[in-house]
Structure 1
Amino acid sequence: MSDDADSMVLDLMEILLTAAVANEYPEISKNDLPQKLRKITGVSGAASEFKRPLVISEGLLEREMGVSGAYGHLRTNPFVDYDEFGQRLSITTLAPAMQWFVKKGGKKSIEQNPALAQYAEKNNIGTFSYQDALKKTGRFEDSVEYIEAKIAPIVAESEEMRNARDLIIIYAPDEMEFSMDNLVCTRGQMDTIKKIDVALKNRDFLRDHRIYEFGKLLFVGPPGTGKTSLALALSRELHMPLLEVRLAMITSQYLGETSKNIDRIFELARRLAPCILFIDEFDFVAKSRLTDDNAAMKRAVNMLLKNIDMVSFVKNGVLLIGATNHPALLDEAAWRRFDDVVEFPMPDQVMRGNILRAVTSLIECECDFDSVAEETEGFSGADLRMMVKEAIMSALTDNRHKVTAEDIEVGMQNLKNRHIIRSNI
């Protein structure tokens, strides 16, 4: 049998084994299904519940996997039964079938399939961990499919809500490239993250005791210091979608609609909650208040501040994060809307070394990180990531996958040249 045929048999057996485990164990939920099997097993939409029994037919496998005549691939397997009348496939004896699956190369699939990992762990088949498989799989509620299904009926209600949807970028938690594991945070940033996590776990207590003034954060610091990266990582960490709003983009639309659009964006956030509402370029508010005499713009700014007053992480599950590169421009009216100000300073030498180690953690890199950190005074975290990217490109251009100290030097010089060009503009 060819490698492709072996792979097809294992893929089909994983589906049948997952269905058998789910039918036998009522505690198995849709979050115990790997993403690749959720649609096949009927899990879709924002309100979909896990339905039993799971029935796997040849027609279903052809429609969802493009596999025609699935039983033909499994005919010689002693653990597969076939109902010709309904063209249904099933597992005859679960434990021996699982042992066969492990022996034939299904170990990696089980490690990423919580349903199978749970069964294997309970029945002492191999050394699989259900919790480890859950971490690798991710929750159904974190998926793009779930978030889009939740948004669809809201934006279908009216043209106004469709317009509001067009003005924001929505990220599902499982889309996030950044995680807390690959970010280097200051102590102040970590303390804020811990407070958010504690508040999330105790929302009912806070609500019952009418402690509402929590969950409005202002991220302040120079460009490239990680404000957006931390907001994105929090989405993944807290399992909440992130709605990114850029005030300059909203106010560039017809001014007469700006106030209404701000109102609708906050309404959309409340209806998608729990979620993170991330307002980038928050200093645009200050610039508008100081320099713009347009009455419509002033109404828009006042509408924004009013909505910030009304939104609440404790009451309605919206975590508000404003970000600014220019905190000095914000007046008292803007500052007092936030209950926590989180500083994002330029990284010191120790932080730069830690950032370099985090950025290069997945590549082979021969360099003295402490020495490079000393030579990169004035580099932001974004600068260091770009420097490493340039170093990797230098290595690849030389047909190497190992990054050397010379490659890092090339990347460093490229970034220093960029800084010179920028300072001369």
Structure 2
Amino acid sequence: MELANRVKTLTPSATLAITAKANELKGQGHDVIGLGAGEPDFNTPTYILDAAEEAMRNGLTKYTPSGGIPALKQAIIEKFARDNGLTYSSDNVIVTTGAKHALYTLFQVILNKGDEVIVPAPYWVSYPEQVKLAEGTPVFINAEEENNFKVTPEQLRKVITPKTKAVVINSPSNPTGMMYNRQELQKLGEVCLEHNVLMVSDEIYEKLIYSDDPHVSVAALSDEFKANTIIINGVSKSHAMTGWRIGYAAGPVGIIKPMTSLASHSTSNPTSIAQYAALAAYRAYEQPVEDMRRVFSERLDVLYELLNDIPGISCVKPKGAFYLFPNVQNAVKQTGYDTVDDWAKALLEEEKVALVPGTGFGAPENVRLSYAVSMDALKEAAERIKRFVENHQS
């Protein structure tokens, strides 16, 4: 059978080969340290688990409105007011089957064939693939490491064309952990308004910040920005709820309404039980969220120092998320490998440390390390990486 052209354009995940090899080695009994995780290594807080159980026992296991139960939408609205200084109504919000589904539905709604979406690189691997699935064209801007992996207004302005429909802003970022400040967002937003380009603000890591700089939502900077922004968020990272698959989007009714209509024909609704769990996450206390953030901050400080002590590896210290994105190009050259992918594969085979090559993120000189593992595992991984580099130096 001939497959649809849309799936033929998809690029296989750059993590697949490393993940498959890591699993193979684990199956053989090897002590593999995996630093590729894109999820917190904590269980969902107990009060959220209790809410899910209560929902099940109370029979809240039926279909819900496609855009989410009213109580959860209200909790999200209250969250926006409390945390971001934003005022939305129920019509401005859709609850989705994870933040990824919110993005997918958004691109399906706003893109026609040939429309362009600007995606700063390094980027989360699914952004360009979802744009292509909507028959759009991803246009990449290289966010320089010297600028802390952030794009400038000048870079943005240069790539905007009459076909440009949107730009993706991910702050804090996967994979770099970088974060835009208020002034930087203001300037990027002005360029977007000038050219009528929609801002897609992915804020899924907003609760995981390790600096004195606060998270800023670009939509909160002005009414004009708010009317030109779709915010993507969810409870996956902030509340250790990746498997529950609850995300949401907020923005103009003219976009949220058709997103809801499309969702009604694809998923019917997000899982009812998971919605009530998310409701508890936003309605109850958030001490577990702060506890998790503090642990990540401690791990970041330790791993950052250990990585920068390895010959040929340099790293910009991130301000959020739970990833480090070091440049390993010099280490690759010093150890005699041709590419970062080859280097990462050899590291896994010899020292049993699994890293994600930066190729899939649009940054072939870097690797992504997740510190969503124990402190002991991080220290051991850094020791193994250092040994690998020193043993192979020519």
Give the TM-score of the pair, scaled to structure 1. 0.28
Highest Rg: 1 or 2?
Answer: 1
Give the TM-score of the pair, scaled to structure 2. 0.30
Structure holding more helix per residue: 1
Higher relative contact order (CA 8 A, sep 6+): 2
